[in-house]
Chain A
Amino acid sequence: AQSVTQLGSHVSVSEGALVLLRCNYSSSVPPYLFWYVQYPNQGLQLLLKYTSAATLVKGINGFEAEFKKSETSFHLTKPSAHMSDAAEYFCAVSGNSGSARQLTFGSGTQLTVLP
C-alpha cells in the first residue's frame, strides 16, 4: 500500500522568495518519487524524479527535491520564485520498481507567486 500527502492545498510566496512545497509518502517497498507540474490549461509535466540514486534530485526550472527516508518526505524547493512558477504541483509515489500502473498522486498544491 502507498499514499501521498501534500501539506497545503494553496501556497503563496513573493517573487524572489523561497518556494517550499511539502510531500510526505508512505510505501511498503522502496519508493520511486516524482513531482509533476501543471500549468494552466496544460497537461502534467514531469519536474523531477527520485529513483534510488542520489537523494538530492535536481529538476527543470531550478527546482530540486530531497528524499529523506527517515522523515518519509520528498519536499520540493526552489531558492527564488519567479512569476512563471505559478502552477499546480503534484507529488506522486510508485512502489513496485517504478511501475507507472502503481503511481499514486497527491491532491496537489496550487502555488501563487505574488509580485
Chain B
Amino acid sequence: GAGVSQSPSNKVTEKGKDVELRCDPISGHTALYWYRQRLGQGLEFLIYFQGNSAPDKSGLPSDRFSAERTGESVSTLTIQRTQQEDSAVYLCASSAGQGLGGTGELFFGEGSRLTVL
C-alpha cells in the first residue's frame, strides 16, 4: 500500500486476555518501529527491526510484550495477559534506513487504540 497500515484500529479487551496488533509497513522499508502512546504522554519506544538483524527489544516494558517480523514485511506486536496499564495507542512506523539525517524519515501508521477493561 501507499502508507503504513495498522490493524485493528480499535481493540477493547478484558484484563488477562492476549491481544495481537498488526503492522504492514511501506513496501521496501527495511526498518520498522513500534511505539506506545499513553494518554497525555509522548511516544515511548518499544522495539526496532532493521532488515535481518536481531531486533532491538530494549524498550519492551515486560516479558508480556513480544513482537515478530518476517523479513522486511508484516510485523505483529503481541501483549499477553493484558493489564489495564497496557491501555494506549500503539503506533508503528517504518523507514528506508536507520539514519534520520538523510532519507531515513519515519512514516507512521494511524495506530491501534487498545483499551483493557
Chain B associates with chain A: yes
* A100 pairs with B42, CB closer than 8 A: no
Known: A41-B110, A42-B110. A97 touches B101 (CB 8 A): yes
Q: Are B108 and A44 interface neighbours, CB within 8 A?
A: yes
Count of residues in B whose CB is under 8 Å from the partner chain: 28
Which stretch, A13-21, A65-73, A78-86, A104-112, touches the partner chain B? A104-112
Q: Does B68 contact A (CB under 8 A)?
A: no
Do residues B104 and A100 form an inter-chain contact, with CB atoms below 8 A? Answer: yes
Closest-by-CB residue of A relative to B59 is: A101
| Closest residue on chain B to residue A107 by CB atoms | B42
Distance (whole angstroms) from the CB of A34 to the closest CB of chain B: 7
Q: Decide: A98 near B111, CB < 8 A? Known: A90-B42, A108-B42.
A: no
A99 adjacent to B100 (CB under 8 Å)? yes
Q: CB within 8 A of B99: which of A4, A45, A97, A104?
A: A97
Determine the residue in chain A with the shortest Cβ distance to B97. Answer: A100
Binding site for B on A (CB under 8 A): 4, 9, 32, 34, 36, 41-46, 49, 51-52, 90, 92, 94, 97-101, 103-108
Q: B residues bordering A, Cβ < 8 Å?
A: 3-4, 31, 33, 35, 40-43, 45, 48, 56, 91, 93, 95, 98-102, 104-111
